[in-house]
Structure 1
Amino acid sequence: MINIVPVKLKANIGVVADLAKIIWTEHYTPIIGLEQVNYMLDKFQSENAIQEQLEKGIAYYLLQFKDEFVGYFSYSINEDALFLSKLYVLKSARGNGVAKVGLSFMQSQAKELNLAKIRLTVNKYNSDSIAAYEKMGFLNVDSIVQDIGGGYVMDDYVLERKLD
């Protein structure tokens, strides 16, 4: 059974930050290097950064599988789209449909809000994630480079999935 838990409590913010550190360090270090991973974790996924995002109306949810928190996702509303900012699952829990449950939840949210699509950005060299999103019906619609400070950029594809 996979549960979705809204992140509201301070303790849950800490769980998200801890999961981010594990997942990002493992997944992104080979792609962008440990220095940039640590910079991005501090800037975007520290407890303070997550708290600030929640205060701005960005939604965060934990994914629970077999009574353990194994991942999280985050989204915001951006024009006519639900912007899927983050969807991460521990390597040990992948292949159990956890990410699909999170995506299905976001699809329902988008439909309730009368949004036409789900949009996300993904690192151009993150081939496993790109393949997974394409398998879930996302199409590559653009390519962007965003300066995130500290001498770093995010070199991403923009993927979209239209909703029925």
Structure 2
Amino acid sequence: MIKQVISIADIKLTTQLAHKIWNQHYEPIIGQDQVNYMVDKFQSESAITKQLEDGYLYFLIEHQSKPCGYLALVPNKSENKLMISKIYVDIDYRGLSLGTKLLEFTIKKAKTESFKTIWLTVNKYNTNSIKWYEKKGFRIIKEIVMDIGNGYVMDDYLLELLIN
């Protein structure tokens, strides 16, 4: 089941999932210090609350009634684009097609709301995720290096999926 994050309890749950998943997935890629910084800056309760106020849409996915992943979307009506800001599944639940379900949910939402493009950024060294997105029809458009403060940068690819 996929449900929208609306309540304070939902935000707390999303924050807990973010802390667990980011530490599982990103520590080997970017190191513990940068993981700590990014979780605090982008996935804390206050950061998610602010993002929701700014138009982000967060969703939780459950498997057997247990929350195990989340998705954040950023609609941009003026450009006809929908950004996947976050799409994460707990390592203990990988292989159950939950990421695919979140992506299918995103594509359906994009079609329903007449977006022409879904896009996201992925760390250049996150090779398994890049391969997964390419298998799903995304293509690398360009490289992006963005300063996120505290001496850290996001060294990413921008990927796009065109919606028919």
Measure the CA separation in 1 of the matches of 2:107 and 2:30.
Answer: 30
Give the aligned partner of residue 59 of structure 1: 57
Deviation of the 1:80 alpha carbon: 2.1
- Measured against aligned partners, the alpha-carbon deviations of 1:129-163 in whole angstroms (never above 9, x if no partner) come to 11111111111111000111111110000011111
Confirm or deny: 8 A CA contact 2:121 2:158 kept in the other structure: yes
Confirm or deny: 8 A CA contact 2:55 2:75 kept in the other structure: no
Give the paired residue count. 162
Measure the CA separation in 2 of the matches of 1:102 and 1:26.
Answer: 19
Measure the CA separation in 1 of the matches of 2:159 and 2:119.
Answer: 6
Measure the CA separation in 2 of the matches of 1:51 and 1:144.
Answer: 26
TM (normalized to structure 2)? 0.97
Measure the CA separation in 2 of the matches of 1:130 and 1:95.
Answer: 16
**Equivalences for 1:1-164 in 2 at 5 Å?**
3-78=1-76, 79-164=79-164
TM (normalized to structure 1)? 0.97
Confirm or deny: 8 A CA contact 2:116 2:162 kept in the other structure: yes
**Aligned sequence identity (%):** 48
Structure 2 portions without partners, runs of 5+: none
Query: What amino acid is the match of 2:71?
Result: F
Query: What amino acid is the match of 1:100?
Result: T
Deviation of the 1:109 alpha carbon: 1.1
Deviation of the 1:97 alpha carbon: 1.1
Structure 1 portions without partners, runs of 5+: none
- Measured against aligned partners, the alpha-carbon deviations of 1:69-95 in whole angstroms (never above 9, x if no partner) come to 000000112322110000000111111
Of stretches 39-48 and 73-82 in structure 1, the one that deviates more from structure 2 is: 73-82
Deviation of the 1:8 alpha carbon: 0.3
Deviation of the 1:112 alpha carbon: 1.6
- What's the secondary structure of 1:103's corresponding residue? helix
Measure the CA separation in 2 of the matches of 1:114 and 1:50.
Answer: 26
